Structure 1
């Protein structure tokens, strides 16, 4: 039995999408969307993060496109919060974190600004007022402040006034910029965004990853020289962990296939490295991430010889593995990939899907019991929501534009 071609499994995916959106609806607060506790209650000390608020706008835009009543109201609330509480009217861009009394973190990170683009693209796809305008504004900020044409990458983070740029360069921010630019290309019809997404992807996968036996370096200096020992004194950092991050291998594997499919629908032949890289990253993620220490689950990070560094199991790694498997199966039809897909959903159902409080347990220890070494609470529905939808959609266009074009369950 192949779950990826099973209509009953598709119905189960739909019910899980609904459950995740229902849990996420508890995150609405005045300033945007809150960081939620394990029980689904806003955590006041966290305020509202830009990346989380934008992810929720994206998720509820998907909900609106799926015909879920109430989702459009959530999107509209999020758009208003970006225009008011988050937006820096004096300097441009959006604050990284806000609370009832104003900015809690007034820096301007590329990572979070990529999600502003995604939020705008998804809201525009859902036909929400202000979505298109947000997308145009966010793309302008991205080009002016973050994109470097000569490097084919984005820089990391600015101060409030866009006058001081951090020396660090990160692949994580570039990964989510690829995701955002792919959506922008589909929504605007401007293939310059697809060109930029392809340039980033080519450099990360066909250059950085290939040179490290496909173990993607995450951290670089301002000249894009890898910093392979970065954060070794704090290896479990939630955004900049030491070593190589297993979940990102799966995420890049899928993004490569989105890029490849986007060119295909435009009549452009795929470049040879695309499928090679997608397959290599997937295979290495399985080999060095899954069940490598005697227990089911993916370790968080490994060193550049493939040995585990942080053994905690993050829910988002499983969701990205599931999404990557669905994407790669779409391209290859490989039965072994379908078998991994089924096994990982089984693991998620047994260990991660929280039938008591809702949503997914965000982190497990090496013993597969709840842990909070890296992530406390349940701030994020985005990864899991996407894992329930990617198996039901084509690789191009990406999620929200595909739903807007009526492509659900048509591939």
Structure 2
């Protein structure tokens, strides 16, 4: 039996668990019907929401993506309406980072990570539903990112204050990666060529400022920054992203770099016995943070599924089995584990279904 055929039933089992367990959790006990928002997290013990201290726009947007992709049009519409009514800053523009337990603005920072996820979620919702308001939000938020978050060298600052008058955090890798993801989704949803140019410029800037030349890895901080780190999960995530529009990224050299980064992350960041991916490495491949976070495992699955080397692709069925055994449970999932397999974080955050959904969607189907 070839790798593709042997992987299908394993992938279907993951998708079945997601449909039977994860989605109902966030339609039901994980959803605050009074505020019409997903709770930040639910307890792994009883699947009840943890006491609410805040609700984040990014979490709402991720859930909007998940339920849009799942074809739950009604719940997706509810989440889109909540995103608009709860997190939109109608005075200064853009999106609040969070609101408090009563739904009032809490952290009014204008955060690139949040804005990227608004674009990403609205692209998925708009593409699947035809909702013109969502596509308008996509374009408006993208334009705001380009005008208000712009930094030197085609990069974008990570955060500004509420009225965009002061930069509070300079460019770092993770928001830029999710902006790449968002603009790829926007390009697909709108067929607007303007996103092609934006993606090319961004890819060139990332290649110039974040690629660690010896390994090809994309570092978390600009090259040369103190205490930099390389996250294996992000190498796998970038590996998959760049393959979604290869011709756009040809000139940047990112694909060649990430081919090397995949090998480095796999060699030093994946446990040989358990298949679990660690949180971070230093530039020599030594483990800096051994925590095994579920999102990094899902990105390894997605990267393996998109790999063109037959020997690497052949690892996918076994990796799915290892992931299922170590990180899924009948009532949900384990968010973080130690190398010894102990649970390092007991709750289940509302942001994780996005990682599960994107990974499982990339796995083979009948």
Same fold per TM (> 0.5)? Answer: yes
Report the Cα distance in structure 1 between the residues aligned to 2:353 and 2:210, rounded to whole angstroms: 30
Structure 1 position 203, deviation (Å): 3.5
Distance 1:140 1:119, change over 3 A: same
User: Residues 254 and 278 of structure 1 are in contact (CA less than 8 Å); yes or no, is this contact kept in structure 2?
Assistant: no
1:322 is the counterpart of 2:297: no
Structure 1 position 10, deviation (Å): 4.7
Per-residue CA deviations over 1:180-228 (Å, capped at 9, x if unaligned) read: 00111111211221222233234434663242522322124xxxx6413
Per-residue CA deviations over 1:292-327 (Å, capped at 9, x if unaligned) read: 6x7541111111211001111011111001111111
* SS of equivalent residue, structure 2 residue 147: helix
1:248 is the counterpart of 2:234: yes
1:135 is the counterpart of 2:138: yes
Aligned residues: 356
Report the Cα distance in structure 2 between the residues aligned to 1:365 and 1:48, rounded to whole angstroms: 28
TM-score scaled by structure 1?
0.80
Structure 1 position 391, deviation (Å): 2.3
Tell me which residue corresponds to 2:227.
Answer: 229
User: Residues 250 and 282 of structure 1 are in contact (CA less than 8 Å); yes or no, is this contact kept in structure 2?
Assistant: yes
Report the Cα distance in structure 1 between the residues aligned to 2:4 and 2:165, rounded to whole angstroms: 49
Structure 1 position 275, deviation (Å): 3.8
Tell me which residue corresponds to 2:156.
Answer: 154
Q: Structure 1 unaligned segments of length 5 or more: list them.
A: 65-70, 231-242, 264-268, 393-408
Tell me which residue corresponds to 1:55.
Answer: 62
1:201 is the counterpart of 2:173: no
Report the Cα distance in structure 2 between the residues aligned to 1:5 and 1:191, rounded to whole angstroms: 37
* SS of equivalent residue, structure 1 residue 244: coil
Distance 1:341 1:228, change over 3 A: farther
1:163 is the counterpart of 2:165: yes
1:32 is the counterpart of 2:18: no
Q: Which moved more, 1:195-204 or 1:172-181?
A: 195-204
Structure 1 position 43, deviation (Å): 2.7
* SS of equivalent residue, structure 1 residue 51: helix
1:289 is the counterpart of 2:296: no
Report the Cα distance in structure 2 between the residues aligned to 1:120 and 1:167, rounded to whole angstroms: 25
1:371 is the counterpart of 2:357: no
Note the aligned Cα RMSD (angstroms). 2.4
TM-score scaled by structure 2?
0.89
Tell me which residue corresponds to 1:92.
Answer: 93
Q: Which moved more, 1:128-137 or 1:46-55?
A: 128-137
Distance 1:213 1:365, change over 3 A: same
